[in-house]
């Protein structure tokens, strides 16, 4: 050796690797393969792939992971009902040390996260910070109710409802608000408005075209299938029932195998009111995988566009004309 304070230690593996170690603990490594030291200070070589199962427990670092529970070997017995009852009795009457206590210097406008006392929920309604309002829900009140109260000069009753005329819940201008005496009057207003909107939609050019196509399609189904209800067998005011809803799957609106021919009582009372019974009826009549086949057809059919209604109407007329000749 060149120096008495220095030890030359040779550790051989797949190739020669040399480690120079000082007595004071400093290490100089030439082409190392993860060297380490044992408690006596002597170097040893860690293999790249250490064998598993040589340690009596997992590494300590694993114990500090989130949600990890150290298994001490002792399993606590579950509490009995009597034990739980005694714990509840012991905690009766105890008041938390911070109950009712507030840091006034950190509330309201004094809070560092104060944003003007206004927030908006996921539905689009705007709330205003009003902790002293007589009908406050927590510490916030609807902004549209506050604006209507300011306009009327009185507090609104809890049963009164404020309606947004343009259906935009964030638009709280007074000219966009309408007051109803109770929730029933509000709901009936929406129902009448929905009926009116459906009438307007039917009276439009596209709506009239869809109604005409539906009539032609019903006549074609009546020509192709037996003149009887497929559920009960009666012949009374037969109607076309869609297996997959025509509103959600418009591409299958005029697809023949997405249709059942049902009488008036069976269509609204059994088909629409009892969806589970309708599913069982479809699987029994058409097969268990019929819904999957229809969904596959929905992906294969081209998307129906408004300007294609003329072509659909023409094709339905030609098909009906051919069936009437036969």
The predicted structure's pLDDT at residue 299: 78
Do both 175 and 278 map to the same domain?
Answer: no
The predicted structure's pLDDT at residue 65: 55
DSSP string, 293-309: HHHHHHHHSPPP-GGGH
Q: Is 0.75 surpassed by the pTM of this model?
A: no
On whether residue 138 sits in a domain, the answer given is yes
**How far are the Cα atoms of 17, 229, 323 from residue 261, in angstroms, in the given order?**
85, 6, 18
Do both 181 and 221 map to the same domain?
Answer: no
Element (H, E) at 28: strand 27-30
The predicted structure's pLDDT at residue 147: 94
What pairs with residue 105 in β-bridges?
none
On whether residue 262 sits in a domain, the answer given is yes
Tens-binned pLDDT, residue by residue, of the chain (326 aa): 444 443 444 343 334 444 444 444 554 444 444 444 444 444 444 444 445 555 455 555 555 555 556 555 566 788 899 999 998 898 888 888 777 777 777 777 888 888 888 999 988 999 999 988 998 888 899 999 999 999 999 999 999 999 999 889 999 999 999 999 999 999 899 888 887 777 777 777 778 888 888 889 999 999 998 889 999 988 888 999 999 998 888 888 888 889 999 998 899 889 988 888 999 999 999 988 898 888 888 777 666 666 678 888 888 888 888 888 77
Total number of domains in the chain: 3
The predicted structure's pLDDT at residue 5: 41
User: CA 274 to CA 22: how far, in whole Å?
Assistant: 86
The predicted structure's pLDDT at residue 53: 53
End-to-end CA distance of the chain: 113
Do both 179 and 209 map to the same domain?
Answer: no
On whether residue 265 sits in a domain, the answer given is yes
On whether residue 301 sits in a domain, the answer given is yes
Do both 321 and 235 map to the same domain?
Answer: yes
313 and 212 Cβ atoms separated by less than 8 Å: yes
Structural domain span for residue 38: 6-45
Domain boundary among 188, 213, 232: 188
Output DSSP code: residue 137: B
Please name the residue that has the structure tokens 């030291």.
Answer: 37
Do both 313 and 233 map to the same domain?
Answer: yes
């Amino acid at each position: 050796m060149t120096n008495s304070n220095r030890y030359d230690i040779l550790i051989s593996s797949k190739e020669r690797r040399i480690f120079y170690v000082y007595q004071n603990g400093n290490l100089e490594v030439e082409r190392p393969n993860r060297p380490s030291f044992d408690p006596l200070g002597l170097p040893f070589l860690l293999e790249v792939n250490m064998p598993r199962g040589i340690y009596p427990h997992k590494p300590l670092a694993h114990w500090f992971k989130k949600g990890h529970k150290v298994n001490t070997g002792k399993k606590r017995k579950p509490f009995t009902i009597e034990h739980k009852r005694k714990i509840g009795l012991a905690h009766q009457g105890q008041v938390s040390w911070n109950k009712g206590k507030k840091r006034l210097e950190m509330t309201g406008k004094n809070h560092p996260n104060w944003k003007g006392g206004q927030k908006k929920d996921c539905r689009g309604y705007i709330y205003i910070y009003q902790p002293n309002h007589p009908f406050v829900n927590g510490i916030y009140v609807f902004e549209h109710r506050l604006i209507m109260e300011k306009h009327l000069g009185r507090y609104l009753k809890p049963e009164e409802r404020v309606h947004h005329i343009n259906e935009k819940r964030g638009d709280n201008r007074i000219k966009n608000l309408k007051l109803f005496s109770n929730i029933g009057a509000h709901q009936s207003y929406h129902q009448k408005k929905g009926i009116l909107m459906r009438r307007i939609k039917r009276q439009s050019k596209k709506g009239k075209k869809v109604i005409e196509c539906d009539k032609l399609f019903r006549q074609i189904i009546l020509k192709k299938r037996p003149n009887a209800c497929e559920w009960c067998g009666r012949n009374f005011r037969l109607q076309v029932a869609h297996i997959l809803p025509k509103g959600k799957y418009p591409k299958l609106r005029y697809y023949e195998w997405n249709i059942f021919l049902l009488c008036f009582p069976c269509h609204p009372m059994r088909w629409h009111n009892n969806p589970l019974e309708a599913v069982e009826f479809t699987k029994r009549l058409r097969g268990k995988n019929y819904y999957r086949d229809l969904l596959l057809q929905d992906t294969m059919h081209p998307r129906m566009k408004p300007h294609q209604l003329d072509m659909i109407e023409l094709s339905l007329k030609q098909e009906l004309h051919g069936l009437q000749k036969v």
